[in-house]
Amino acid sequence: VYHEAGRIRLQPANKEMEPMYYPPEDVEIQGRVIGVLRKL
């Protein structure tokens, strides 16, 4: 998450994906992911 001039940029770690931009009033950080469980 990056704060830029009047907007928030979500920058993916995957270089193949484009960043996403949102106005600050539309963004709310609720926590962080510490693990992912998947059933194979």
> So what's the pLDDT on residue 40?
83
Domain that holds residue 15: 1-40
% the chain with pLDDT above 90: 85
The mean pLDDT of 10-18, rounded to a whole number, is 95
What is the Cα–Cα distance from 5 to 23, expressed in whole angstroms?
10
pTM: 0.66
Question: Which value, to the nearest 10 degrees, does the dihedral of the CA atoms of residues 19, 24, 25, 27 take?
Answer: 50
> So what's the pLDDT on residue 25?
96
> So what's the pLDDT on residue 28?
93
The mean pLDDT of 11-36, rounded to a whole number, is 94
How many domains does the chain contain in total? Answer: 1
Indicate if the alpha-carbon torsion angle 17, 1, 39, 35 is positive or negative.
positive
8 Å CB contact between 15 and 1: no
The mean pLDDT of 14-24, rounded to a whole number, is 96
